Amino acid sequence: MLMLVCLLTMTACRQSRDVFFFTSFHEPATDGLRLLYSYDGYMWNDLDTVLLKPAVGTRKVMRDPSVIHGPDGLFHLVWTSSWRGDYGFGYASSPDLIHWSRQQHIEVMAQDTSTVNVWAPELFYDETTGDYLIVWASTVPCKFEKGIEDELNNHRLYYVTTKDFKAFTPARLFYDPGYSVIDATIVKRSVNDYVLVFKDNTRPERNLKVAFGKTPLGPFERQSGSFTGFLTEGPTAVMVDDKWLIYYDAYQDKRYAAVSTLDFQSFENISDKISVPEGHKHGTIFKADSKVLKNLLRELGKNESMK
């Protein structure tokens, strides 16, 4: 009887708690959206299924998928739809991560036809204004001081905001640290306390740094030194218990790595404490009710992993 009570209690806890999801794609990015899931934020399981095939953009690929669970109950997804020669990114939404809306191509840089690319759009919801903020990296040749980068690789971060993914503000400059920068993600720590995690994309660096601001739009200041090694990118941050975990793609080593931090000033390498399936590439972590996972697994005809 005691064992039965314990089993029922464990089942109830599992059914009521949130699950971590990690968006993913596999090279060469032509297949589409994949998802990992985890109960503890450290050990990840692969659904091993393509949930949405890309159908928009010049190249019709899906790289760097970013999902946010909005207050409207929908999962909003944006992604890199082409490597180059594209003025926008892909967008779709879903109530359950199973059934998806018609895909749209949101052109955000068409006002400057010299734009080389639109890379890694990242979603953030501003609870204060009710706006969705989308940040990405673009190269606009000769717009900024060249520095050490080629004109076709001299990126800066841009953004738009929207309340409904139908009307968007004009694209504006988001962050210019004075050198090529890509792969940004915004973390809210508390009121008037935000952290920007990004990649310094200059040839000697190509690693991750942070900067601090009082609003999700910055200005972001007090830039840190690098906290990852050479050839790392695609950061995503999530709070697990009392620590922030920052996952990133250590693409030279062909694996995912992670650090933990309490203050975004000192970082501990926890790569030996995580498990990420092989082939996983640049995605973002979000949380959802365990019922979402249960329905997904049922729809896909898969058994639940206990990791």
- Cis before 28? omega within 30: yes
Alpha-carbon distance of 285 to 138, in angstroms, equals 23
Every domain of the chain and the residues it spans: 19-226+279-300
In 171-242, beta strands by DSSP E: 172-175, 181-190, 193-200, 207-213, 233-240
- Predicted TM-score (pTM) of this structure: 0.93
Q: Would you give per-residue pLDDT tens digits along the chain (307 residues)?
A: 454 444 444 444 444 589 999 999 999 999 999 999 999 999 999 999 999 999 999 999 999 999 999 999 999 999 999 999 999 999 999 999 999 999 999 999 999 999 999 999 999 999 999 999 999 999 999 999 888 899 999 999 999 999 999 999 999 999 999 999 999 999 999 999 999 999 999 999 999 999 999 999 999 999 999 999 999 999 999 999 999 999 999 999 999 999 999 999 999 999 999 999 999 999 999 999 999 999 999 999 988 765 5
SS3 295: helix
Superfamily of domain 19-226+279-300: Glycosyl hydrolase domain; family 43 (2.115.10.20)
Q: What is the CA radius of gyration of the chain?
A: 19
